Structure 1
Amino acid sequence: MSRLFRDVMVLREEVRDLARRYRLPADVRGRLVLSVTDLASPEFEAGHPVTLTTVHDGAQEVPQLNVTLTAPRAAGPLSGADVPLTAHLTSVNSVTWHIALPDRHGGPFEEVLAPERTSASLPVRVREADEELRAALARADSLTAGHRMLKHELAETNAGVLALYVQLDERDEQLRRAHGRVLRELEDALRPPPPKVDGLELAVHYAPADPAAPTGGDLYDWFTLPDGTVHVTVVDALGHGVRSTRGAVTVTHAVRTLALQGHPLHSILARTHHLLMPFNADLMATVLLVRLDPATGELQVASGSHPPPLLAREGGAPQFLEATGRGIGFPAPGSDAVLRDHMGPGDLLLLYTDGLTESRRDLIEGESRLVKAVEQHAHRAIAEIPDAVAGEMHTVVLHADDTLALAMRITADAPVTAAWAGGVRRLPPQGGRADKRSSG
C-alpha cells in the first residue's frame, strides 16, 4: 500500500494507525512515528509531498513490516541513521524500516479507526501517546537503574581491586624483607667480620655493580695466623653476579688453606693457580695478599695483577705500594716478589678493587682522586673511612663495577715492641709508576 502525504499531522496519524494495526510495541511505535516525522517535516516545510509505502512480508521466518518513506523532490539524500528508529537507505531519496512483528501470524488487526478523523478518535490517540511516553519513561528508568547497578558493581570491583593491590603490596613487602634477610645472611656467610686484634682497626665497604644482585666477583678474607700476624686477601674475579662470586670464593678458600698450612707468602698465588685450574679452567682473578704484624708494624704485600694498596702515614702524603705479579688464570701466574714495608701508630692502609678507581674510565685520574679522598677522610673513625672514600670516588659513575674498599689502621696506642724500637726493614714501593701515582 502506498499513499501520498502533504501534511505532517495526517502523516503522523497514519503511521500511528499503521503501528496499531500491526500491534507494534509502544516504544517501537513511538520511535517509528518520530522517525517518519523527522524525515518528512523538512519536505513539508519546503512544500514537497512525501510518499509512505507499507509492505507486509510474511515469507520471513519472523514476519516483518517494511515501511518506506520517499521524498521525490528532496534536496539531498535522506539519512536513516540519525533518527530514533534506524532505517536503511534504499535509494537517494528513500529510506526503509524493516520491523519485526510481535504477532507470529503477522497480519493486520481489522479493528481500526475509520479513515474519517473525528474528535471521537482523540481519546485513543491520547492513550497511544501516553503509552509511548510510558514506554519511553520505562526505558529511561530501566537505563537509570542499570546505570546505578553498574556504578555499584564498579565501586565494589574497584574496592576489591584496591584490596587486592594492598594485599599484593603487603606480600611484596614481605618478600622484599625476606629477600633482604637472605641477602644479608649470604653476605655474612661470604664476608667474614673483622678479626679482633689488639692495636689494629679494620673496616670494609662493599657494593655490587647490580644493586639487585646479592654479591659479585669482589671478595675479601681476613684472619689471624698462629704467630699473631693478620692476613688479608682481596680478590677480584672476572665477571659479575653469583657466578663470579663462586670463583672468588674458591680463590679465598684456597689462599686461606695455604696460608694456614704455613706456605711462604710469595708462593701462595702460584700454588693457588695450580690448585684451581684443573677444576675451573675459565677462572680469572686478580689477587692482593697483605700480612701485617700489629706488634711490630711489619707489612708484607704480594700481588697478582691487582691494584696496589695505598698507605697513608700519620702526618704524611699517601703512597701506593706497588708489588708486581700476575693473577689467577693469567700467563705465568704468581708474585714476582714480596714488597716489605712497615706501619706505625696512626698509619692507614687502604686495599681496594678497580671498581673504586675506574668508575670514570680513567685509571690515572681515578688513582689521583683516591689519594685526595684518603687524605681528606683519613682522620675519621675507621668504620666511616671505607664508606666515605667510596662515596667520594663515586660522585660520578660512568662505568658501574663491583667495588670493595678495606681499611687497616694501627691504633695510636699500639704497644711499641723491641722489634719496632729496633727499626724494621723498610723498602720504598718498587717500580717507576709508584712514584708517579703517589704524587696525587
Structure 2
Amino acid sequence: MIHPDLGGLRLRLREACASAGVPAEQRARLVLAMTLLVESSAEADRAPELSTSASKGRLSVTLRLSRPVSQRQRNALPLLPDPGDSGTLTWHITTSTEAMLVPPDEESATREEMLALVARTDAITKDQRELKHELAETNSGVLAMYVELEDRDESLRKAHTVIFRELEDALRPPPPRVDAFELAVHYGPSDPDSPTGGDLYDWFVLPDGNVHITLVDAVGHGVTSTRHALTVTHAIRTLALEGHPFRDLIAHTARTLATIEPGLMATVLLARLDPATGQVTFANGSHPRPVLVTTGGEPELLVAPTAGRGIGFPAPGSHSLVHRTLADGDLLVIYTDGLVESRKDFVEGEGRLLAAARRNAGRPTAQIPDLLTAEMHDIVLHADDTVVIAIRYRQPPRRGA
C-alpha cells in the first residue's frame, strides 16, 4: 500500500540531500530506506514525520513513525540508521562542500539514483574480480578465506538485487491512461536472481494526445546493459517531447549517443498511437516485428518496406515506417527477442507466436502478455530477458451517438 504522504516526504528528503551535497548513491539508499519504512506503516493512524538538519560536513535525517522498528528491521535497510528499537530512526550522512541540483521530478530523481547505484555496482564488481584474481594466485592456505569471500559476495549480490528490483519497478512506468487503448505489459529477467537486464520500455502521452511507446533491447547483460537501455529510453523521450519527427527519432538518438556511449548497441521499436482514429505507426531499428491480430482476420507480422537499423549498428535509423489503422477490438503485440528465441530458432518462434496470439486474442488484454510468455516459454533452451506489451484499440463512441 502506498502511503499518501510518501511522494511529499521523498521530495523533501531529496531537496535536503541536494542542499547538503549528499552524493546520488547515498541519497538513493536513504530514499529507499525511508520508502520501505513509510510503506510498512501506511495503515497507521499517525502520519510519519520527517526532519533534517545540516551542519558542516554532515546531514542528520530523522524519521518518526507511529510504531517501533526493531534493530533486526533496521539492519535490513539499504542504509543503516542509528541503533535502537523505537519508532524514531536517525541517519548521519557525511556530505560534500557543494550543493547539488534538485532533480526536476520523481522519475528523473529515481533515474539519477538508479544510475548512481549502477555505477557503484560496476565499481564493486570490478574490485571483486581483481581481488579474486589475486587470491587465485596465492597458495592453498588462503582457500578458507576465498570461500568466505564467496559467501559474502553472494550476500552482497542478493542485497543489491533487492535494491535494484525496487528501483527498476520505479523505472517501469504504469500504462498511461488513454480511453481508446488498453495497455498491458509483462517483464521477466533471464535469470530470476539477476538484478537487472537490458530490456526496458517507456510509454507516455504526448502534448497532442497521441501515445508514444519505446521498446529497447540493449546488447549485453547485467547493470551495463541496464544503463544503456535507460540512456536510450531517456534520450528518445526527450527528443519526442521536443517535437522531433517520429521517423527521425532512432537516427537522431544514435547520433546523439555516439560520442557519449560509443560502445552502446540496442535494437529499438517505436510506436505512435492516435486515440482519435486508431492509426498506429511503427519505426523499427533491428527489432522483432510487431504482431497484429484483427477481429476478423489472421495474425500477421508488420513488416516495414525497408529494414531499419538499431542504435550502434551501421546506418542506424528507421528508413521506412509501418502504418495501420485499427478497428475496434484489434490487438497489437510488441516484444523483445527473448519471447521468440527460447528454443534458439527465431523463425520458428515467430510462427509459434502468431499461433499463440490467435489463440489468446479473445482474452482480457491485461492477461495476454503473461499468457503469451508462459506459452512461448514452455521449453527454454536459451534464456533471455523478455518484455511483452499488448495494445488493444477500443474505438471511442461517436459524438451524439
Asked if these proteins are the same fold (TM beyond 0.5), I'd say: yes
| Counterpart residue number, 2:231 | 250
Is 1:214 paired with 2:234? no
| CA displacement at 1:386 relative to structure 2 | 0.1
User: What secondary structure is seen at the aligned counterpart in 2 of 1:344?
Assistant: coil
| Counterpart residue number, 2:318 | 335
| Counterpart residue number, 1:357 | 340
| Counterpart residue number, 1:374 | 357
Q: Which has the larger radius of gyration?
A: 1
| Counterpart residue number, 1:203 | 184
**What amino acid sits opposite 1:358 in the alignment?**
E
What per-residue deviation string (whole Å, max 9, x for no partner) do you get for residues 339-383 of structure 1?
111111101110001110111111111000000111111111111
Any gaps of 5 or more consecutive residues in structure 2? 1-153
**CA pair 184-414 structure 1, distance change in 2 beyond 3 A:** farther
Is 1:414 paired with 2:361? no
User: What secondary structure is seen at the aligned counterpart in 1 of 2:365?
Assistant: coil
| Counterpart residue number, 1:326 | 309
- Map of 1:4-403 to 2, 5 A cutoff? 182-323=163-304, 324-403=307-386
| CA displacement at 1:279 relative to structure 2 | 1.0
Measure, in 1, the Cα distance between the counterparts of 2:191 and 2:376: 17
**What amino acid sits opposite 1:414 in the alignment?**
P
**CA pair 181-415 structure 1, distance change in 2 beyond 3 A:** farther
Measure, in 1, the Cα distance between the counterparts of 2:180 and 2:253: 31
Q: Is the 8 A contact 2:180 2:393 kept in 1?
A: yes
| Counterpart residue number, 1:141 | none
Aligned length: 244
| CA displacement at 1:181 relative to structure 2 | 5.4
Measure, in 2, the Cα distance between the counterparts of 1:240 and 1:386: 23
Measure, in 2, the Cα distance between the counterparts of 1:350 and 1:334: 22
Q: Percent identity?
A: 59
| Counterpart residue number, 1:68 | none
| Counterpart residue number, 1:98 | none
Q: Is the 8 A contact 2:160 2:195 kept in 1?
A: no
Measure, in 1, the Cα distance between the counterparts of 2:190 and 2:377: 12
CA RMSD, Structure 1 to Structure 2 (Å)? 2.0
Measure, in 2, the Cα distance between the counterparts of 1:200 and 1:326: 28
Q: Is the 8 A contact 1:296 1:417 kept in 2?
A: no
Using the size of structure 1 for normalisation, the TM-score is 0.53
Measure, in 1, the Cα distance between the counterparts of 2:367 and 2:322: 28
| CA displacement at 1:218 relative to structure 2 | 0.5
User: What secondary structure is seen at the aligned counterpart in 2 of 1:301?
Assistant: strand
| CA displacement at 1:417 relative to structure 2 | 7.6
| Counterpart residue number, 2:105 | none
Measure, in 2, the Cα distance between the counterparts of 1:415 and 1:318: 26
What per-residue deviation string (whole Å, max 9, x for no partner) do you get for residues 35-54 of structure 1?
xxxxxxxxxxxxxxxxxxxx
Q: Is the 8 A contact 1:295 1:415 kept in 2?
A: no
| CA displacement at 1:199 relative to structure 2 | 1.7
**CA pair 183-281 structure 1, distance change in 2 beyond 3 A:** closer
Measure, in 1, the Cα distance between the counterparts of 2:315 and 2:348: 29
| CA displacement at 1:188 relative to structure 2 | 2.0
**What amino acid sits opposite 2:232 in the alignment?**
V
Using the size of structure 2 for normalisation, the TM-score is 0.58
**What amino acid sits opposite 2:266 in the alignment?**
A
Q: Is the 8 A contact 1:295 1:416 kept in 2?
A: no
Any gaps of 5 or more consecutive residues in structure 1? 1-171, 419-440
**What amino acid sits opposite 1:354 in the alignment?**
D
What per-residue deviation string (whole Å, max 9, x for no partner) do you get for residues 308-335 of structure 1?
1001111321111122200000000101
Measure, in 2, the Cα distance between the counterparts of 1:289 and 1:217: 16
| CA displacement at 1:304 relative to structure 2 | 0.4
| CA displacement at 1:338 relative to structure 2 | 1.5
Moved more, 318-327 or 280-289: 318-327
Measure, in 1, the Cα distance between the counterparts of 2:244 and 2:374: 37
Measure, in 2, the Cα distance between the counterparts of 1:226 and 1:338: 22
User: What secondary structure is seen at the aligned counterpart in 1 of 2:366?
Assistant: coil
Measure, in 2, the Cα distance between the counterparts of 1:181 and 1:294: 38
User: What secondary structure is seen at the aligned counterpart in 1 of 2:369?
Assistant: helix
| CA displacement at 1:265 relative to structure 2 | 0.9
